Amino acid sequence: MKNKLKIGIIGLGTVGCGVVKVLSRFDDIEIVSAAVKNLTKKRDVEVQTITNNPMDIVTNPEIDVVVEVAGGCEILEALKVAVQNKKHIVTANKELLARHGAELFDLARENQVAILYEAAVAGGIPIILPIKTSLAANKFSFVAGILNGTTNYILTKMEQENLSYEDCLAKAQKLGYAETDPTGDVEGFDAMYKIAILANIVFGKRIDVNKIYREGITHITSNDIKLADELGYKIKLIAQASELESGELDIRVHPMLISKENTISDVNNATNAVMLKGFPVDKVLFVGPGAGEFPTASSVVGDILSIKSEFDKTGEILPMTTCHHSVYANQIEIEKTQNCYYLSIVAGNNLGTIGKIGSACAEFGINLSSIIQKGINEDNKASIIVITEKSSEADMNKMVEKLENENDIKVINKIRVMQ
């Protein structure tokens, strides 16, 4: 039994500094060293030894646990060395786990060390350990969530303040919610990595992140937000994974219209949420801060304490912290999915336009739930909103293509509707 758990940290950015501050409350945990990119940068925490070489951390025989909060995939080789040196890993790196998790977990199993990553999915929301413990009796069929605080903040402000996407992005950047290059958030990459990790845990299969359909929020307009509100919906960027009767997995990230009667529609600003459906529990919803210095540090330190607890008791790791999956899921393409749709259409104010839309839908077996004309604009164009019943993505795309081949009809936006 060790008196102190010795920690090495890779990354002293916002989260890394938060981890140092939280760990200062624990006398039985010692931060031995930290690796950073910029040795001269001023930080509001102190670590006894700082290096700019992560290899100094992962090869240090004094260190028991490597905490990686630097992000990116370039740290992979260093973490592999850490595992080979019998060091446990605690990480918040969703991209690394989504893209290289299989390799890392296989190596960890061979070397009998743990890789814990509660902070990688939803910041301060405890979700991974509850799925593995309290909800372990369940057979899950569906997991979905608002997994990116930046996009949720932007969409919330577009709704509440009737601002454009561009204006809300600028506001998010000014407040520090969005990076100077926001691509990872607004184009859905961040949420894609997180749903890959969640699907792996929930369905017990490895996920090929390259096969996940991904669509961001840059095409969402303030008019879409307003019309959705009038129809009883809100628009959110949703990452979801479901198991079909065939055993295939449907995993994707894209904006969706969410009924205001659905609790998840009330999750606003930078808050995250994860919804699970299974038997026997039915539906459960986890809501909380998805990012930030202390929420994320809370999850990181929670993982560290889990390792510390096992060290103190047995010197061995919890079996649940190892990955036993070896089979990759059969993931379907977006064209094979079934969805309801919202269509925003602009058309000439001509007789028979509504009939053409109805005929195109009928040709491809698409039933209309509602069709509304929202008046005539100054160019004598009619704004038409269509909500469909469930149909295949492939048929919907064919119908949209047919409509756009008609003179004076243009589909401005197509957004899926959550059921």
Residue 76's Cβ-count burial label (10 Å; 0-12, 13-18, 19+) is: middle
Query: d(Cα 52, Cα 154) in Å, to the nearest integer?
Result: 35
Query: d(Cα 240, Cα 213) in Å, to the nearest integer?
Result: 10
List pLDDT tens digits, range 220-255. 999 999 999 999 999 999 999 999 999 999 999 999
Secondary structure class of 90 (helix, strand, coil) = strand
Q: What is the pLDDT of residue 1?
A: 44
What lies within 8 Å, CB to CB, of 282 at 6+ separation is none
List pLDDT tens digits, range 7-58. 999 999 999 999 999 999 999 999 999 999 999 999 999 998 999 999 999 9
| Amino acid code (one letter) for 65 | V
Distances in whole angstroms, Cα of residue 147 to Cα of each of 124, 156, 216, 220: 12, 14, 13, 18
Query: d(Cα 187, Cα 164) in Å, to the nearest integer?
Result: 17
Averaged pLDDT score across all residues of the chain = 93
List pLDDT tens digits, range 72-115. 999 999 999 999 999 999 999 999 999 999 999 999 999 989 99
Phi and psi at 290, nearest 5°, equal -95, -5
H or E stretch covering 251:
strand 249-259
**Helix runs in 314-347, H state only:** none
H or E stretch covering 78:
helix 76-84
Active site residues: 194
Query: d(Cα 77, Cα 111) in Å, to the nearest integer?
Result: 16
Domains for the chain: give ranges and CATH numbers: 5-123+293-321 (3.40.50.720), 128-289 (3.30.360.10), 338-417 (3.30.70.260)
Q: What is the pLDDT of residue 118?
A: 95
What lies within 8 Å, CB to CB, of 109 at 6+ separation is 322, 323, 324
Query: How many CA within 13 A on the CB side of residue 197?
Result: 32
List pLDDT tens digits, range 295-354. 999 999 999 999 988 776 665 566 666 666 789 999 999 999 999 999 999 998 888 888
